[in-house]
Amino acid sequence: MSTESADRVATPTPDPHVVTPEPTNPGSAQGAASDGRAAAKATGAMLASRVVIAALGWTGSVIIARILSPEAWGHYTFVFALLGLMAIFTDLGVGRAVMARLIVDDPDEVARTASAFIALRLLLGLGGYAIALIYVVALGYPGEVIRATAVAGLVVVVATPGHALTVVFQSRHRLLLSAMAESLGQTVQLALTIAAALFAPYLLLFVLAPVVNEVLALVIKAVGISRRDGGLRPSRHVEFARWRPMLLDAAPLAIGFALTVALQKVDMLLLSILDTFDAVGVYGIGYKFSDILDTFVLAAAGPVATLLVAAWPHEPGVFRRRCRGAAAAFGAGGAVAVAAFWPSAPQVIGLLYGERFVVGAFAARMLVLGATFTALIVLGIYLLASAGQARSYPLVAFGGLVLNVVMNVILIPRMSYDGAAIATVATLGSVLVVLWIVIVRTLPIVGLFPLGSVMTLAAVTALACAVGTPAARIIPWPVVSVSTALVVALVALPLVRASARAPGRHAKVHGVTS
């Protein structure tokens, strides 16, 4: 039986939550959102952009880490960790109400939804900026940190509506302009970073460069969407009444994302309180590596989310196949990254950032592993949101946040940044398991998570790391890293293909798997 035939096997008794597939007009907005080839091209564009952004951003961080003093680097790391935490207040996620109304065939509805969404995101960005400033002032952080937050915090104000424009483009899988804008912005940021390093190596100038990056990217996206045909141009009139349904529909997802961001970033805030800024700087190096994986995941998750929204609920087989394929691909990407980095982490950190940061190699390894868990968590969140079932996730994320805070408070005084890393990875692993249990029990489709493939990848990756770590002390580390990554990739490729095919029936009938 072919894959397409298996996807559309009828169940003996129609499930009330699984609607019989209806044909999709390829020329419609819904058809554009369901276009797998367009999604693949959009994903490719965003991933290529993320490669450029990651390389340029990494280069900039190496320059800054080597030039600033340990304390000043700790200040820099803390400020951007705090601003990342502001996503609690600024990121609605891709709410089902927003995405669902962006893929309709009424250009006027799309325009009004887009303008309301962009305006709301701008207001949330301003709120996030204010909260970040109030936090550092109220807790009595050093004046250098307060000034850096005041300047760097403008990133939140600009990037928040910029992301809203990306969501609008994403609704039709037209992400090439966004990818180009963000790559160009990162290029300018690196140029400004190099200029500051050569002529005026001050913290405030280093934190100004990302602001210029976001402003440039926003301008390019705004000009592009204002000239874009095809029903994507936002209305000049903002209907504030649309905010209420957006907020109500997105509230569970927004709260869940906010709590997820908090449980990922609260370790940095607690480390700054329970330890020193020098420790924050060492720990921040680990996040430089894990953030690369996070960046790729978020780039790929956008088009995947659009496909899932378009497939639910009319095409449960397609929904299942795309979910399994994405989960296997995300797991494989994370496994390859862990296999490449784990054996040679001390050597890579020493080469790029200097010997004083090598002490944080264990924490960096753990954070890269945690980023693999985060990839599957993000997919699970989008999965629940696309099916309109995100209400259960905030409770899972809240439990994870509480666990993370408790573990950090216990472990940081005893193990510093290593304790923070252990707490964060243990929390992410727990949230991952609980989240997918919730998905299995909530959605009327079976086999959404390719457990066998993921467990096989985990076992192969653990073995590769166990062999590669001592080997990297004897054999040149680039050879070891390439070899371990290649071994895992060769195992992962057929597993991803097999998971995406997912033959067989796909729906639950009266509580029984069919």
Give the pLDDT confidence score for residue 314 in this predicted structure.
79
Provide the residue ranges of all domains of the chain, joining segments of one domain with +.
Answer: 30-238, 252-505
Give the pLDDT confidence score for residue 316 in this predicted structure.
82
**More confident: 479 or 222:** 479
Average pLDDT on 31-60 reads 71
Model confidence at 291, in pLDDT bands (50, 70, 90)? confident
Model confidence at 232, in pLDDT bands (50, 70, 90)? low
Cis peptide bond N-terminal to 313, omega within 30: yes
Contact 179, 45 (CB under 8 A): yes
Average pLDDT on 85-93 reads 69
Give the pLDDT confidence score for residue 10 in this predicted structure.
33
d(CA 151, CA 202): 13
Give pLDDT tens digits for 358-385.
999 999 999 999 999 999 998 888 888 7
Give the pLDDT confidence score for residue 37 in this predicted structure.
64
Give the pLDDT confidence score for residue 104 in this predicted structure.
64
Give the pLDDT confidence score for residue 4 in this predicted structure.
35
d(CA 513, CA 15): 12
* Greatest C-alpha distance within the chain: 73
**What CA dihedral angle connects 458, 461, 462 and 463, to 10 degrees?**
130
First to last CA, the chain: 17
Give the pLDDT confidence score for residue 225 in this predicted structure.
80
Any idea which of 219-228, 283-292, 444-453 has the lowest mean pLDDT? 219-228
Give pLDDT tens digits for 154-196.
999 998 888 888 877 776 667 788 889 999 999 999 999 999 9
d(CA 147, CA 158): 18
Residue 200 Rama label (left phi>0; alpha psi -120 to 50; beta):
beta
Give pLDDT tens digits for 241-279.
777 777 776 666 667 777 777 887 889 989 999 999 999
Give the pLDDT confidence score for residue 229 in this predicted structure.
55
d(CA 28, CA 398): 39
3-class DSSP state of 2: coil
The answer for residues whose C-beta is within 8 angstroms of residue 476's C-beta and 6 or more apart is: none
d(CA 456, CA 453): 5
Answer yes or no: is pLDDT of 354 > 70: yes
Label residue 274 exposed, middle or buried (CB < 10 Å: 0-12, 13-18, 19+).
middle
Give the pLDDT confidence score for residue 319 in this predicted structure.
84
Any idea which of 252-261, 305-314, 356-365, 468-477 has the lowest mean pLDDT? 252-261
Answer yes or no: is pLDDT of 482 > 90: yes
Residue for token pair 């992400």: 175
d(CA 3, CA 90): 40
Give the pLDDT confidence score for residue 38 in this predicted structure.
59
Residue 508's DSSP bridge partners are 513
Answer yes or no: is pLDDT of 29 > 50: no
Answer yes or no: is pLDDT of 148 > 90: yes
pTM for this structure?
A: 0.74
What single string gives the DSSP state of each residue in 124-148?
A: HHHHHHHHHHHHHHHTT--HHHHHH
Average pLDDT on 3-23 reads 34
